[in-house]
Amino acid sequence: MLTSSNPQATQQPLGTYVLMTAAHNEETFIEGVLESVIAQTLLPRRWVIVSDNSTDRTDEIIESYAQKHHFIRLLHVTRVPGRNFAAKVLALRRAHKLIQDVEYDFIGNLDADVSLEPSYFQEIVRHFQRNPNLGLCAGYLYEHWSGKYQSTRINDTLNVFHAAQLVRRECYDALGGYAILKYGGEDWYAQTHARMLGWQVEALPQLKIYHHRHTTGGSDPLRNAFRLGRQDYSFGSDPFFEILKCLRRIPEKPYFGHALARFAGFIWPYICREPRAVPDHLAVFLRQEQRARVAQLLHRGRSAFATVITRVQRETKSDREKELAPSAQFSPESQRQE
């Protein structure tokens, strides 16, 4: 029987799920995510944590929890040192091999540097059961800025963060798991691919993912922006949509530098004639989605502008009527009647 520090935790009232985590030298944050999971009101059937070439106390901390909670499994892997985006996905694939003997309805990725509220996964499973067409689901990402946790600028109901997401098993199998991509973005690829296959994806604003490391905290901001531009190109993003995305990033430090670096990263592969990382049909689908969003944005803009014009016209007409009202009271005709 699975043990937990939460006496109200249960295993099968709604549906079952398993979790996978890739952790590399996470001794600072790993205990926070461990405490979050064992406190869940709906526990996972199994949680495989892959220590990806960790050289600090990550393994020791995970092992201490695995001895008390039998659904936690630790797998240590070694590889050539260095950071690359393939390492995380390869670690998750190794984790997936250790859950194939478990029956489950949903499978999830959980980053090693987050913490969650106790009902997080139970609420997501409930949301899945209300919508059988839902393939991916997660909460909103919150990061620590100016002394408090705040919702990030990129939160959107259609943007399902990889940090703490669940995927319906049938959807995950159809996707073939998470893809290895040169510039990262396996979460973006997964949700775009899922929508192309007819699944719905949704992020729930009421569920918070507390991310303890800033999303760009591991690299230089300008270099990361350049990489994101290359990532957008590799997915086949529409150029006009990319321009709008870069304009939206202007307020981010170092302000114009971030937007220019991202757009430069998007243009550079065109110059180098770099092949894209995704199949042509997925790139076409993504561009169609992006163009539809731009058209919707322009339509809203026109509607808002028309509303403002109508309101101004009404207020102008009302003001003119008020100006004419006193003059009517002292017209020559009214004076003759007197």
Q: What is the spatial distance between Cα 32 and Cα 144, in angstroms, rounded to a whole number?
A: 15
Residue type, 279: P
Regarding beta strands 106-110 and 164-168, do their DSSP bridges make them parallel or antiparallel, or are they unpaired?
antiparallel
How high is the pLDDT of residue 9? Answer: 58
Q: Can you read off the two tokens belonging to residue 6?
A: 């939460």
Residue type, 200: Q
How high is the pLDDT of residue 338? Answer: 47
Residue spans of the chain under pLDDT 70: 1-13, 82, 216-219, 303-310, 312-313, 315-338
How high is the pLDDT of residue 213? Answer: 85
Phi, psi of 305 (to 5 degrees): -65, -45
- Runs of H (alpha helix) within the chain: 30-38, 58-66, 85-97, 120-130, 169-175, 186-196, 221-235, 239-248, 256-272, 280-329, 332-337
How high is the pLDDT of residue 323? Answer: 65
How high is the pLDDT of residue 14? Answer: 77
What spatial distance separates the first Cα and last Cα of the chain, rounded to whole Å?
99
Domain ranges of the chain: 17-211, 219-327
Global pTM reads: 0.81
Burial status of residue 257 (CB atoms within 10 A of its CB: 0-12, 13-18, 19 or more): middle
How high is the pLDDT of residue 154? Answer: 84
What CATH code would you report for 17-211?
3.90.550.10
For residue 132, say if its preceding peptide bond is cis, omega within 30 degrees of 0: no
